[in-house]
Amino acid sequence: MLAEISIENLGVIPAVSAELHPGFTVLTGETGAGKTMVVSGLRLLGGTRADASKVRTGANHAVVEGRFLIEQLPDEAQQTVINIVESAGGMADEQGELIASRVVNASGRSKAHLGGRSVPAATLQEFSVELLTIHGQNDQLRLLAPDRQLAALDRSNSEIPGLLETYQKHYRKWRVLSKDLFERTSRRRELAQEIDRLQFAIDEINELQPVAGEDTDLIASIRRLQDVDTLREQATIALTAIDGDVEFSGDEISASDQLGRAQASLVSSEDSSLRELGERLAELTSALSDISAELGHFLSDLPTDAGELEFMLQRQQQLKQLTRKYAPDIDGVLQWRDKAQRKLESIDVSGEALEQLQAEVAASEKKMLAAAKKLSNTRKKAAKELSSLVTDELHGLAMPKTKFIAELRTIEPSNAGIDEVEFLLAAHSEAEPRPIAVSASGGELSRVMLALEVILSSGSTGTTLVFDEVDAGVGGRAAIEIGRRLARLSVHNQVIVVTHLPQVAAFADAHLHVAKNVGDASVTSGLAKLEGDERVNELARMLAGMDDTDSGRAHAAELLEMAESERKRFSV
């Protein structure tokens, strides 16, 4: 539920904010007052594309902020919303409310925030799916698209989403296997050449049996072999200085002997400071001994075979042939070989492999079609139920003879199943049903969409449903019936409606009025909550401008009294 909305510098609105409550809220005002900008602000919170032209003239940017409550949502929907916010690094505020905002710069760039963190606009769109649904004139037109009609049908039955998910899993597997079979059969000669190329490359690599990191190790070993004499001389000088020349026993004293004598002299002292220095010399003696041992190992490991350098150089050239063809280094060559091996195994075009794959495709297709049939049967049942429910709703919306039909047709398998649906209307029982795209007027299309939303939202709770002048082209008794249904929708959901019809506005629990002020240099709009006589006067104005007459106000008061009585009946 949307608890509060704040708007700055959007269209003719300099700055407004409004607290919103559960139930039915209506927005009214004269044409051009800025009602549409409120809906535009809600659409921005829903992650729709930003439009710089809607930034107020002279302002650098427009800002829309909304505070949402989620405790009335079903547990699963609550968890979904929380996961989206937390995955974006956001969190609820100290009151448990989730704050979403959108900033649109006059240059066209926009920024979105959710739960205190900057997020892509797509994240706002994902966040708003569970919380906010907006219906406007453009949404009515989208309802004419076959995929939207199928989506509406699928929403009408709780079993369909699970069946659709199962079908799509089988469909995707069947598509992958079928594509593989098609490629193996239609490109058999090309694939056979690919097999030969891959096998040659794999054999070439395996023949040399390279080891990971071998090229790097070879560089170090070759450098050592090329400098072996210098390395031997350097290590020998250092070792002789430490341990003395083992082949010459003269008067020269080695470093290890000198340190040993110094250590022995100090550790035997009765002075604690000298003994401590002796202990430190002992550490140096130990370290010197380790260095001496490592120098000895280094000298013993130096190659003495003159032919070893030549062998290593040849090996290096062999490895370079591989790195020139397959990857920059031997590690990459080995990865390329493993990938090539996997690809080779996957494109077996032998007769046995093709037969096995054909069997897998057939088995997968059988499972896919079984899941599709189960889904289709459930959709047929749902289409029959939806047709009956929408027809009943339309009868209550001053279309007493109209018949609504959700016609299901079988098509080739697709990701959506083996069905396509088309919504049809028949003016009366004897008339031929025709697609709503060609048979419904603007007002009739508004009523069809409202009837669908009343039915499809009957099981939802805690969401915000926004209707932007969906009652266009409607009047009289139909307008009252639309008001009734919107009030009924608001029993379990928050409903926000922009309307010009007093019959609809009278059913609202809260009435917000958008007023414009035309100055010499600019037009501004403000938002105010109407109560008591103010609301009566606004309804009277909407009744053909009768706000300045007693009869107009009396008619408005009577309309309010009737609507309030109806609302009480819905809430019982």
Name the token pair of 77. Answer: 């929907």
CA-CA-CA-CA torsion sign (189, 192, 194, 200) = negative
Label the pairing between strands 434-435 and 523-530. Answer: unpaired
CA dihedral 489, 491, 492, 497 (to 10 degrees): 50
What local confidence, expressed as pLDDT, does residue 298 receive? 84
Residue 419: the pLDDT is 96
CB 33 within 8 A of CB 516: yes
Amino acid occupying residue 113:
H
The rounded Cα 505 to chain-centroid distance in angstroms is 37
Burial 369-401 (b: 16+ CB within 10 A, else e): bebbeebbebbeebbeebbebbbebbbbbbbee
CA atoms within 13 A on the CB side of 177: 22
The torsion angles phi and psi of 156, rounded to 5 degrees, stand at: -80, -10
Three-state SS at 444: helix
Angle formed by the axes of helices 146-155 and 442-456, nearest 10°: 30
Three-state secondary structure of 245-308:
CCCCCCCCCCHHHHHHHHHHHHHCCCCHHHHHHHHHHHHHHHHHHHHHHHHHHHHHHCCCCCHH
CA nearest 288: which of 266, 263, 265? Answer: 263
3-state DSSP of 109-141: CEEEEECCEEECHHHHHHHHCCCEEEECHHHHH
pLDDT confidence of residue 570: 67
Instruction: Give the chain's radius of gyration (CA, Å).
Output: 41
12: left (phi over 0), alpha (psi -120 to 50) or beta: alpha
Contacts with 143 (C-beta within 8 Å, 6 or more apart), sequence order:
149, 152, 423, 436, 445, 448, 449, 452
Query: What is the amino acid identity at position 73?
Result: L
**Do residues 4 and 60 lie in contact, with contact meaning Cβ atoms separated by under 8 Å?**
no
pLDDT reported for residue 353: 78
Which amino acid is present at 287?
Answer: A
Backbone angles phi, psi at 406, to 5 degrees: -95, 100
Cα angle: 531, vertex 534, 538; to 5 degrees: 115
Spatial distance between the Cα atoms of 572 and 563, rounded to a whole number of angstroms: 15
Is the model's pTM score more than 0.85? no
b (16+ CB within 10 A) / e for 145-158: eeeebbebbbbbbe
Supply 387's token pair. Answer: 């047709």
Strand ranges for 415-559 from DSSP E: 417-426, 434-435, 464-468, 494-498, 510-518, 523-530
Residues 512, 193: Cα–Cα separation, whole Å? 74
* CA proximity to 62, closest of 124, 109, 126: 109
Instruction: Supply the DSSP string of 169-220, one letter for each residue.
Output: HHHHHHHHHHHHHHHHHHTHHHHHHHHHHHHHHHHHHHHH---TTHHHHHHH
Note down pLDDT in tens along the chain; length 572 residues: 899 999 998 888 888 888 898 899 999 888 766 788 888 889 899 888 888 888 888 889 999 999 999 888 888 888 889 999 999 999 988 888 899 999 999 888 899 999 999 999 999 999 988 888 888 766 666 678 888 899 889 989 989 999 999 999 999 999 999 998 888 777 777 877 888 899 999 999 999 999 999 999 888 888 777 777 787 778 888 888 887 765 544 555 677 778 878 888 888 778 888 888 888 888 888 888 888 888 888 888 777 666 777 888 889 899 999 999 999 999 999 999 999 998 888 777 677 878 888 999 999 999 999 999 999 999 999 999 999 999 998 888 888 899 999 999 999 999 999 999 999 999 887 889 999 888 877 777 878 888 888 888 776 788 888 888 777 667 777 788 888 888 888 888 899 998 888 999 999 999 999 887 755 455 567 788 899 999 998 998 888 766 677 888 888 899 899 988 887 776 65
Distances (CA, A) of 456 to 29, 155, 165, 171, 380: 30, 6, 20, 27, 17
The predicted pLDDT at position 505 comes to 92
Could you give the angle at which helices 160-186 and 188-208 cross, rounded to 10 degrees?
80
Tell me if residue 356 falls in helix, strand or coil: helix
Sheet-wide strand order for 403-414: 403-414, 417-426, 434-435
**Distance separating alpha carbons of residues 507 and 6, to the nearest angstrom:** 25
The answer to whether the CB of 513 falls within 8 A of the CB of 538 is: yes
